[in-house]
Amino acid sequence: MKPVFMTYTKKDLINLAICMILSVLVIPTFITTEYWYTSILIPWLCLALATIGQQIVMGYTGQLALGAAGFMAAGAFAMFNLILRVPDLGFVGSLIVSGLIAAAFGILFGLPSLKVRGIYLMVATLASQFFIIWMIDKFGWFKNYDSSGIITAQDIVILGKPFTTPLAMYFVCLAVTTVLTLLAMNMARGSTGRNWMAVRDMDIAAESMGVSLLRTKVQAFAISAFYCGVAGALFAFCYLKSLEPVAFDIKLSFKILFMCILGGLGTINGAFIGAAFILLFPVLLNAIGNNVFHGAIDATIISSIEQVIFGGLMIIFMIYEPLGMAKLWENIKQKWKTKIPLSTNLKSSLSKKT
């Protein structure tokens, strides 16, 4: 199929239209319970955005980094301080600037990638996770000298209008995520993404083609941290509605890593699939525990089962489908496509016989 715009085919535009109709019209009309917005849709969008950040550095550029939650914390606290101290920036302005502040941290902690790779880089990037959290805890200024440890996030106000209901917050997250996802897709499919993937697949050859390893790696880390920073700000302001460094601990980093791997390394839609799976799976297990076994299974056992299944799935995916659920989905679609023309051929040949 010929691309309609440079990087989009007609099929992509149809997919985008379907997604937009679903998320803007269908979901708000059919889902009315607050629970779905506050506990599933909003965190899903925020974490999917952070996973896109992780995808850029890990799936596309092939740099094993583990510290997404650290950059999220940087973004969240930058947002809090910007709204507090520079109110003129407005919500959108603060969101962009807090992303940029996270990106600055990304550049700083991405520098080791020039010298170390693989599992060693993972250990080096862990420094960002611990350093950022430590910094926020250590210097009271970041928390505006709040002694309680948990700060309430300010209300979201865009152009003088408050966005405080779950539905309004959902729309804020949706808008930001949609814009950033489209930008990420443009980059991934354009020359920028090709440079990233060239560095991932064969760095020596990439360098011999004129791709600068330094620039490409640092750029990927910066963009990744920007996405994580914005996601962190949304996560704190729309989902948690509070700011505490503990919320951005190493567990969240691992969660994002799992979303990235299960969703499918090197895919943008995989970020959404992975995030949805990891968020919805515990909900599903709980529902099964309550409705099928009527509470006969203890809640702690259910949460343990959840961990076991996640671990098992990670191993299964790593062995059988390293490209994750996005690839699985692709394969299913492919199978359908080959089945449909086959059946029409059969019909036509049958009709000829009779």
Partner 1 sequence: MAIERKFKIGKPILEVKNISLSFGGVKAITDTSFDVLEHEVRAIIGPNGAGKSSMLNCINGIYKPQQGTVSFKGKEIPNITPNLMAQMGLSRTFQNLALFKRMSVLDNILVGRKLHTKTNFLEVAFQLPKVKKEEKINRERSEEIISFLEIEDIKDTPVGKLPYGLQKKVELGRALATDSSVILLDEPMAGMNVEEKRDMCRFILKVNDELGTTMVLIEHDMGVVMDISDRVVVLDYGKVIGDGTPDEVRSNKKVIDAYLGVEH
- Single out the residue of 210, 295, 350, 353 in contact with partner 1 (rule: CB under 8 A): 210
Question: Residue 342 corresponds to which amino acid?
Answer: L
The token duo for 185 is 């897709």
Confirm or reject binding of residue 197 to partner 1 (CB under 8 A).
yes
- Pairwise CA distance, residues 273 & 259, whole Å: 8
Confirm or reject binding of residue 223 to partner 1 (CB under 8 A).
yes
CB of 63 to partner 1, least distance (A): 15
Phi/psi at 144 (nearest 5 deg)?
60, 40
By beta-carbon proximity to partner 1, the closer residue of 12 and 137 is 12
Name the segment binding partner 1 (CB under 8 A); options: 45-53, 131-139, 191-199, 289-297.
Answer: 191-199
Confirm or reject binding of residue 1 to partner 1 (CB under 8 A).
no
Confirm or reject binding of residue 181 to partner 1 (CB under 8 A).
no
Confirm or reject binding of residue 276 to partner 1 (CB under 8 A).
no
CB of 185 to partner 1, least distance (A): 9
Burial 150-176 (b: 16+ CB within 10 A, else e): ebebbebeeeeeebeebebbbbbbbeb
- Single out the residue of 190, 246, 304, 334 in contact with partner 1 (rule: CB under 8 A): 190
By beta-carbon proximity to partner 1, the closer residue of 178 and 186 is 186
CB of 264 to partner 1, least distance (A): 12
Confirm or reject binding of residue 209 to partner 1 (CB under 8 A).
yes
CA atoms within 13 Å, Cβ hemisphere of 136: 27
Confirm or reject binding of residue 186 to partner 1 (CB under 8 A).
yes
By beta-carbon proximity to partner 1, the closer residue of 198 and 230 is 198
Confirm or reject binding of residue 338 to partner 1 (CB under 8 A).
no
Confirm or reject binding of residue 206 to partner 1 (CB under 8 A).
yes
**What's the 3-state SS for the chain?**
CCCCCCCCCHHHHHHHHHHHHHHHHHHHHHCCCHHHHHHHHHHHHHHHHHHHHHHHHHHHCCCCCCCHHHHHHHHHHHHHHHHHHCHHHHHHHHHHHHHHHHHHHHHHHHHHHHCCCCHHHHHHHHHHHHHHHHHHHHCHHHHCCCCCCCEECCCEEECCEEECCHHHHHHHHHHHHHHHHHHHHHHHHCHHHHHHHHHHHCHHHHHHCCCCHHHHHHHHHHHHHHHHHHHHHHHHHHHHCEECHHHHCHHHHHHHHHHHHHHCCCCCHHHHHHHHHHHHHHHHHHHHHHHCCCCCCCHHHHHHHHHHHHHHHHHHHHHHCCCHHHHHHHHHHHHHHHHHHHHHHHHHHHHHHC
Confirm or reject binding of residue 331 to partner 1 (CB under 8 A).
no
- Single out the residue of 1, 6, 292, 319 in contact with partner 1 (rule: CB under 8 A): 6
Name the segment binding partner 1 (CB under 8 A); options: 88-96, 133-141, 193-201, 298-306.
Answer: 193-201
By beta-carbon proximity to partner 1, the closer residue of 101 and 223 is 223
Phi/psi at 5 (nearest 5 deg)?
-95, 175
Confirm or reject binding of residue 73 to partner 1 (CB under 8 A).
no
Per-residue string for binding with partner 1, 251-270, x by CB under 8 A? ---------------x----
Confirm or reject binding of residue 191 to partner 1 (CB under 8 A).
yes
Confirm or reject binding of residue 97 to partner 1 (CB under 8 A).
no
CB of 344 to partner 1, least distance (A): 24
Confirm or reject binding of residue 207 to partner 1 (CB under 8 A).
yes
Name the segment binding partner 1 (CB under 8 A); options: 143-151, 211-219, 303-311, 328-336.
Answer: 211-219
By beta-carbon proximity to partner 1, the closer residue of 183 and 342 is 183
The token duo for 133 is 């959290």
Q: Which residues bind partner 1 (CB under 8 A)?
A: 5-7, 183-184, 186-187, 190-192, 194-195, 197-198, 200-202, 204-213, 219, 223, 266
